[in-house]
């Protein structure tokens, strides 16, 4: 305690919660209990292999190979890409909304400038 208060004790290093090796950790849910999956290296057959798995102590406990999980996730993302017609419609909606907001900002700016001129004239 004395070393800590004197500032001579090394500071504790915070635990890293998000590691780039396992981008889906905490994002994907367990198929059995719906809790977030974690990931780690599992040993076997003379080596260490990356897996996503559940913290909970239930049976069956899902262990999914990192490559299989991430390739399946990428397939899902690729299937969720909107077609060209929807992208075109989305762009039109965004541009229309942008133009509307831009006009509103211009009107508000003109009104504020008029009020400033009026106040300066009243001086």
Question: What is the tens place of the pLDDT at every residue in 64-108?
Answer: 999 999 999 999 998 888 889 999 999 999 999 999 988 888 887
54 close to 61: Cβ distance less than 8 angstroms: yes
- CA dihedral sign of residues 22, 25, 31, 33: positive
- Domain positions in the chain are 17-81, 82-123
Q: Which of 2-6, 25-29, 41-45 has the lowest mean pLDDT?
A: 2-6
Q: Residue 109 has what pLDDT?
A: 79
Global pTM? 0.54
Q: Residue 4 has what pLDDT?
A: 65
């Amino acid at each position: 305690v004395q070393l800590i208060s004197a500032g001579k004790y090394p500071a504790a290093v915070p635990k890293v919660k998000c590691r780039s090796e396992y981008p889906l950790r905490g994002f994907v849910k367990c198929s059995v209990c719906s809790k977030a999956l974690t990931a780690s290296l599992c040993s076997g057959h003379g080596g260490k292999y990356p897996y996503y798995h559940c913290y909970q102590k239930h049976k069956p406990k899902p262990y999914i190979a990192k490559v299989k999980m991430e390739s399946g996730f990428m397939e899902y993302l690729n299937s969720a890409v909107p077609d060209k017609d929807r992208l075109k419609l989305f762009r039109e909606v965004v541009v229309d909304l942008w133009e509307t907001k831009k006009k509103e900002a211009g009107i508000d700016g003109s009104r504020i400038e008029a009020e400033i001129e009026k106040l300066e004239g009243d001086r």
